[in-house]
Amino acid sequence: MSDFVRAAAFAVFLVVFCGDSHVDARPKVPAPSAARAVVTPPNAISTKWAELQARILADQAVLAGCRSGHEPCPAAAQRFLSLVELGRAHEGRARIGQINRAVNLAIRPVSDLVQYGVDDFWAAPLTTMRTGAGDCEDYAIVKYLALREVGIAPENIRLMIVRDVRRQNSHAVVAVRHDDEWLILDNRTMVMVRAIDAQYYWPLFSLDHHGVRMVATAGLW
The per-residue pLDDT for range 6-42, each reduced to its tens digit, is 443 333 334 445 755 555 444 443 332 323 334 445 5
Interval 155-173: pLDDT, tens: 999 999 999 999 888 999 9
Using 70 as the pLDDT threshold, list the residues of the chain that sit under it: 1-17, 19-42, 216-221
In a domain? residue 71: yes
Q: Is 25 among the domain residues?
A: no
Q: Under 8 Å CB-to-CB from 151, ≥6 apart: which residues?
A: 88
- Which of these, 167, 129, 141, 112, lies nearest to 53 by C-alpha position? 141
> What are the residues facing 14 on neighbouring strands?
40
Task: Read off the CATH number of the domain in which 153 is found.
Answer: 3.10.620.30
What's the residue count for the chain? 221
151 Rama class: left (phi>0) / alpha (psi -120 to 50) / beta: left
Residue type for 10, please? F
Q: What radius of gyration do the chain's Cα atoms show?
A: 17
pTM above 0.75, yes or no: yes
Domain contains 26: no
Does some domain include residue 137?
Answer: yes
Write out the residue range of the structural domain in which residue 193 sits: 3-20+40-214
* Residue 88 confidence (pLDDT): 96
d(CA 171, CA 182): 17
**Residue 77 placed within a domain:** yes
Q: How many domains does the structure of the chain reveal?
A: 1
* Residue 181 belongs to a domain: yes
What pLDDT shows up at residue 15? 43
On whether residue 85 sits in a domain, the answer given is yes
CA proximity to 49, closest of 151, 133, 158 = 158
Indicate whether 209 belongs to any domain: yes
